[in-house]
Amino acid sequence: MVLGYADGKLVKENLMTCADVPKIQEINQLGKASIYANAFGANLPRRRASDRPVFRALGSFGIGEETTNSADGLLVYGKDDSRMQADFDRLVASDPIYGATAEFRAAQDAYLEGAEGARLEDGSSAFLQLLEAQRRRLFFTLPDADVEYPRWSMTAFRYAGEYMEAYESLKAKKPVSEVVRGRVTLGLNRVLTGLLLENVDRIFIASSGGFTQSRVSVLCDREVPSRRQGGVGMAIKLDEVAGRPQLEVSLAPGRGNSVFFDLTPIRYEFLSRVAEGSLPASFSNECLEDLLAFKAKLLRKAEIVRNANQEGDDDEVSGEASELTLNFIEIESRGGGFTRPVTVRASE
């Protein structure tokens, strides 16, 4: 990170030596030694960087490639737009070495003024590469409290900041925020039912009439509160072994009546995006399959609990008629889900 240099023609193997530094200073190409780019292996050839596990892991965040309209608006138009000039001076121009360098400003002007080279095929590629470098720098240098340019929105893990806050809360033996709990509940409900439910107070464990992988399930086998109450409901805990948050959904009081689900960063991102309106398969099919497997475990556990309750019930059904009650999930005008029981009577 300290010695990396993006120009492999100027320095050997993209790593500076003491003898290289004066040459780099003479030609005023300090920006290619940016530590913000080196942290992601951007100074190395792509193939060589991909061979290093640390760079593969950091590369999965998409920092530099992902962006927001506000961040790109600042970087591209900020110096000329009176509404963003103060932010541009504070966040970009204040760093003349890795921020608003002479190279960046020249490429920016050519891009904005529509120079002939910029209109040719791939003519703007140099500026776009510099733009990626600026996004990486912004990721590290943006103030935490800057709501106009949220850091994590410039990555593939838009909700990573919330996930880290939840982890720190659990580590300190404190409950997670209601925002996190509500978003997890909303995402779970939408995956478990396939319906655009708005409930954050309870979780619907639904099926389509059997243990199928149907994406839409309107038969509620069981519903539990989103907050643990009387030994029933969802708890968000820290798995001491794995060292990450974990969901525990208990369907009845007592040991053995719970189903667990590791809440990894990508799974939290998946649930959060679904909660915000994205289609489940649009972000990660792998996460969707993990959630459907979790749903199957919940349905199996619900059947076990139901059978145990029936065995403990001494009341017998009299007469020749038998009844079956099905709880259908319906949606109110504002998106709230509720169950409507329908009794089916069969006579022998």
Q: Cα(59)–Cα(176) distance, rounded to whole angstroms?
A: 28
| Average of per-residue pLDDT across 259-279 | 94
Banded model confidence at residue 195, pLDDT cuts 50, 70, 90? very high
Give yes or no for residue 196 having a pLDDT over 80.
yes
Give yes or no for residue 120 having a pLDDT over 80.
no
Q: What kind and span of H or E run contains 42? A: none
Domain ranges of the chain: 12-154, 164-315
- 264-270 long-range contacts (CB < 8 A, ≥24 apart) are 265/157, 265/160, 265/163, 266/157, 267/291, 268/159, 268/162, 268/163, 268/166, 268/184, 269/156, 269/157, 269/158, 269/159, 269/160, 269/163, 270/187
| Average of per-residue pLDDT across 285-303 | 93
Q: How far apart are the first and last CA of the chain?
A: 78
Give yes or no for residue 316 having a pLDDT over 50.
no
pLDDT of 311: 67
pLDDT in tens, 139-180: 999 998 888 999 999 999 999 999 999 999 999 999 999 999
Give yes or no for residue 312 having a pLDDT over 80.
no
Residue 64's nearest CA partner among 166, 138, 3 is 138
Give yes or no for residue 314 having a pLDDT over 70.
no
Residues paired with 337 in a beta bridge: 331
Give yes or no for residue 248 having a pLDDT over 90.
yes
Residues paired with 346 in a beta bridge: 322
Banded model confidence at residue 13, pLDDT cuts 50, 70, 90? confident
Amino acid, res. 124: S
Residue 42's nearest CA partner among 6, 16, 7, 13 is 6
pLDDT of 261: 97
Residue 180's nearest CA partner among 190, 170, 191 is 170
